[in-house]
């Protein structure tokens, strides 16, 4: 692709050089059939794709089901080339194209089934753009589980090229990028497995570090969390909004594709400083914690921890909290009848025991783990 300056009103700035026709704008209902196969009777035996079957836009599992055992959501009879757009929590962008050579394939009503003469790879990538997702979210209802219905989806206007060759060129371009990303993600997954193994060795003390003179550091000392970490209770309605994720720890809220459903009055939000550890009280048992690189504010549902002394490396603690052993301990100490209500407040957290090395070894461990991240 090359950057082409143009005076055309409906033409992208970045496009392949051999295409010059203006793009057009139409409502989705005028260029695609949506959910047209939902009223047909599903077969007696079929392969099924549910919302839980798809991760990061990839179908990871397809199960066989008999009609008598079928869930109520099994209604979309798929044809090859159909695009399935996630209508529940659409900000996740967990859409997929049916490229399978599978007869009797049925998909959950958690997806909108879209069939069009437009190149499916091209249209699929158009649906992933932030602009389109923003239009979907504007029309969605619900807070925790925002969802859009087919009528609202049909009325979204998209801008696209009618040139079939340009559609194919763009679709193939992004398919190649997806393939490269897939290969890189596989490499990353292998590195993550290596890191998990190294973390297990480090925190089980099978892998130890030595000081500058080549001598062993002292044995690790068992302490209660309350002896090294305090709870920050400062409230503020001002500051950058932050969020805590399982994979990336503390992030800026505007860097994630999530709708801000909080009220404008954030006076009860909790203050976070650089080097604090923030965690989601209801998802600590899943690893939703991290060391903050930013100063800002977070939802009152989070718990904020600060170091009680200068001889504590918070990167070391953040890594420690991500180990399988500690996550199991957090799970065991969470309160609630079911996983939906499990909650780990500071009151329970502070009584948990952890083993910590001296400050110098903490720094060596966190530096080592950060290099293999």
| Same domain assignment for residues 222 and 152 | no
What pLDDT score was predicted for residue 195?
75
Tokens for 302? 């989070």
| CATH code (residue 251) | 3.90.220.20
Domain for residue 212, yes or no?
no
Domain for residue 176, yes or no?
no
- As a whole number of angstroms, the distance between CA 90 and CA 60 comes to 19
Between helix 359-371 and helix 314-321 the angle, nearest 10°, is: 60
| Same domain assignment for residues 155 and 246 | no
Where does 217-264 have alpha helices with state H? 225-228
| Same domain assignment for residues 224 and 154 | no
Domain for residue 226, yes or no?
yes
What pLDDT score was predicted for residue 348?
95
Q: Residue for token digits 């077969």?
A: 43
| Same domain assignment for residues 233 and 155 | no
Between helix 164-203 and helix 359-371 the angle, nearest 10°, is: 150
| Same domain assignment for residues 347 and 226 | yes
Tens-place pLDDT, residues 196-243: 788 888 888 888 888 888 899 999 999 999 999 999 999 998 999 999
Domain for residue 89, yes or no?
yes
Among 366, 360, 370, 371, which Cα is nearest to 215's? 360
Residue that wins the pLDDT comparison between 151 and 191: 151
Domain for residue 365, yes or no?
no
| Same domain assignment for residues 110 and 227 | no
Q: For 167-185, what is the mean pLDDT?
A: 83
Largest CA distance in the chain: 76
| Same domain assignment for residues 234 and 311 | yes
Q: What percentage of the chain carries pLDDT values higher than 90?
A: 60
Domain for residue 250, yes or no?
yes
Q: State the average pLDDT for the chain.
A: 88
Among 310, 293, 291, which Cα is nearest to 360's? 310
Domain for residue 259, yes or no?
yes
Number of domains in the chain: 2
Which structural domain, as residue segments, surrounds residue 88? 24-160
Q: What percentage of the chain carries pLDDT values higher than 70?
A: 94
| Same domain assignment for residues 39 and 112 | yes
Domain for residue 183, yes or no?
no
Give the number of C-alpha atoms closer than 13 A to the C-alpha of residue 15, restricted to the C-beta side. Answer: 22
């Amino acid at each position: 692709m090359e950057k082409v300056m143009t005076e055309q009103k409906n033409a992208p700035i970045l496009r392949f050089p051999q295409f010059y026709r203006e793009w057009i704008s139409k409502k989705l209902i005028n260029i695609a059939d949506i959910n047209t196969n939902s009223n047909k009777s599903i077969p007696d035996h079929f392969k099924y794709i549910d919302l839980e079957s798809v991760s990061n836009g990839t179908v990871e599992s397809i199960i066989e089901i008999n009609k008598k055992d079928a869930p109520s959501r099994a209604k979309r009879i798929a044809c090859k080339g159909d695009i399935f757009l996630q209508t529940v929590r659409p900000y996740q962008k967990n859409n997929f194209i049916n490229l399978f050579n599978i007869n009797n394939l049925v998909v959950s009503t958690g997806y909108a089934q879209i069939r069009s003469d437009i190149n499916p790879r091209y249209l699929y990538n158009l649906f992933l753009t932030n602009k389109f997702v923003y239009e979907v979210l504007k029309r969605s209802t619900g807070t925790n589980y925002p969802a859009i219905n087919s009528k609202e989806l049909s009325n979204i206007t998209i801008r696209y090229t009618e040139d079939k060759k340009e559609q194919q060129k763009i679709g193939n371009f992004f398919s190649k990028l997806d393939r490269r990303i897939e290969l890189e993600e596989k490499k990353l997954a292998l590195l993550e497995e290596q890191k998990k193994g190294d973390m297990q060795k480090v925190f089980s003390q099978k892998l130890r570090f030595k000081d500058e003179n080549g001598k062993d550091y002292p044995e690790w000392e068992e302490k209660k969390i309350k002896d090294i970490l305090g709870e920050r209770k400062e409230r503020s309605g001002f500051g950058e909004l932050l969020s805590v994720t399982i994979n990336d720890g503390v992030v800026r809220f505007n860097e994630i594709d999530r709708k801000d459903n909080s009220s404008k009055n954030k006076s009860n939000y909790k203050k976070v400083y650089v080097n604090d550890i923030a965690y989601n009280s209801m998802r600590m048992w899943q690893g939703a914690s991290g060391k903050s690189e930013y100063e800002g504010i977070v939802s009152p549902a989070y718990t904020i921890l600060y170091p009680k002394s200068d001889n504590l490396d918070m990167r070391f603690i953040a890594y420690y909290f991500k180990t399988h052993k500690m996550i199991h301990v957090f799970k065991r100490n969470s309160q609630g009848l079911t996983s939906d209500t499990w909650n780990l407040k500071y009151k329970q957290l502070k009584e948990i025991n952890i083993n910590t090395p001296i400050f110098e070894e903490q720094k060596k461990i966190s530096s080592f783990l950060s290099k293999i991240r």
